[in-house]
């Protein structure tokens, strides 16, 4: 979970893969989908958001509670050490809403801290599918009241996002491989530090010049194998590392380690996402698990601006 904790503690975004994007939260067709799920809830309903991250969905629920003048209690948990109130402190509209939500950091949905038959609605967006489904689905069934529902939007392996993430992941994996481009950059930066300690300038050192040329050749050879989309990812991911070599400084070594760790966390989040994607086989598994628990499932494709965005699962007792 360290990779999720690091992400949520560093970002002020509400979105879970928001590198380079605005903190937009959930709007438009997606917000509409969730609004319709709230239509028949009792005034004092207890709702929990599973795998809440920075609370994007829980905030949407809190906004609706305000608009509809309801008294729902909203709980939101995540296995990572989330701190949504800290992250949202600079965004007064969200900060105020976040204060009305009870957040549970470092709580896994495989072991919910809620009483049996206590909840009216469990929701999850791009999170339930990251859990151990055999455990989390049984927990959902345990804590929901008779007549309660589980509604989750999940990644589908067919979305443009999932396909693009697969490309990003393959580029990250290649960069990170043993003797790959990042290892070479690290060796070069270590050489720079060593040369500075000896009061030598890297650009005057034959070893540095040769290693630099070799790296350039390696980069060119790798780039030639890439599709246009992969090349875009490569350029985006490689640029901050390349910048460390353009102006070699002794302290760039530390900066490199930091960047590499961030890249590693990003890679792990994407790997989680790929493993979480709903394929026909995983959908069948969910149907079977719920059926064994005596619950029925219904699935829907969710489109945003006509593009497939995810799959929604609704489940309730037969």
Ligand X SMILES: C[S@@+](CC[C@H](N)C(=O)[O-])C[C@H]1O[C@@H](n2cnc3c(N)ncnc32)[C@H](O)[C@@H]1O
Chain positions contacting ligand X, by CB under 6 A: 1, 4, 15-16, 51-53, 56-57, 78-80, 108-110, 125-127, 130-131
Of residues 126 and 238, the one with the C-beta less far from ligand X:
126
> Cβ–Cβ contacts within 10 Å for residue 184, how many?
17
Of residues 109 and 181, the one with the C-beta less far from ligand X:
109
Residues β-bridged to residue 76: 49, 103
The least distance separating ligand X from the CB of residue 84, rounded to whole angstroms, comes to 10
Of residues 160 and 201, the one with the C-beta less far from ligand X:
160
Of residues 75 and 109, the one with the C-beta less far from ligand X:
109
**Alpha carbons 178 and 170: distance in angstroms, whole number:** 14
Q: What is the residue-wise DSSP string for 254-280?
A: HHHHHHHHHHHHHHHHHHHHHHH-B-H
The least distance separating ligand X from the CB of residue 286, rounded to whole angstroms, comes to 15
The least distance separating ligand X from the CB of residue 98, rounded to whole angstroms, comes to 13
The least distance separating ligand X from the CB of residue 82, rounded to whole angstroms, comes to 7
The least distance separating ligand X from the CB of residue 49, rounded to whole angstroms, comes to 7
**Alpha carbons 237 and 165: distance in angstroms, whole number:** 13
- When CB distances to ligand X are compared, the closest residue is 53
Of residues 124 and 315, the one with the C-beta less far from ligand X:
124
Produce one character per residue of 76-105: b if its CB has 16 or more CB atoms within 10 Å, e if not: bbbbbebebeebbeebeebeebbeebebbb
């Amino acid at each position: 979970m360290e990779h999720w904790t690091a992400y949520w503690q560093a970002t002020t975004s509400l979105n879970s893969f928001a590198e380079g994007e605005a903190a937009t939260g959930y709007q438009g067709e997606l917000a509409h989908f969730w609004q319709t799920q709230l239509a028949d809830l009792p005034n004092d309903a207890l709702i929990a958001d599973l795998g809440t991250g920075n609370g994007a969905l829980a905030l949407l629920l809190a906004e609706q509670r305000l608009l509809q003048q309801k008294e729902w209690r909203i709980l939101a948990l995540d296995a990572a050490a989330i701190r949504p109130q800290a992250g949202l402190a600079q965004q007064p509209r969200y900060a105020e809403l976040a204060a009305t939500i009870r957040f549970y950091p470092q709580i896994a949905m495989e072991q919910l801290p809620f009483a049996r038959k206590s909840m009216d609605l469990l929701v999850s967006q791009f999170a339930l599918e990251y859990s151990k489904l055999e455990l989390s689905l049984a927990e959902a069934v345990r804590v929901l009241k008779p007549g309660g529902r589980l509604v989750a939007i999940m990644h589908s392996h067919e979305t443009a996002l999932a396909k693009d993430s697969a490309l990003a992941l393959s580029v990250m994996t290649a960069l990170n491989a043993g003797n790959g481009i990042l290892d070479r950059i690290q060796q070069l930066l270590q050489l720079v530090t060593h040369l500075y300690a000896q009061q030598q300038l890297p650009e005057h050192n034959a070893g540095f010049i040769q290693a630099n040329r070799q790296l350039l050749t390696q980069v060119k050879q790798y780039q030639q194998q890439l599709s246009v989309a992969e090349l875009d990812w490569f350029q985006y991911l490689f640029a901050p590392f390349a910048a460390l070599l353009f102006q070699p400084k002794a302290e760039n070594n530390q900066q490199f380690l930091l960047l590499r760790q961030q890249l590693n966390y990003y890679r792990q989040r994407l790997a989680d996402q790929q493993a979480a994607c709903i394929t026909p086989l995983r959908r069948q598994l969910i149907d079977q698990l719920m059926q064994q628990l005596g619950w029925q499932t219904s699935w829907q494709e969710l489109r945003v601006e006509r593009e497939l965005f995810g799959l929604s699962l609704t489940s309730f007792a037969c």
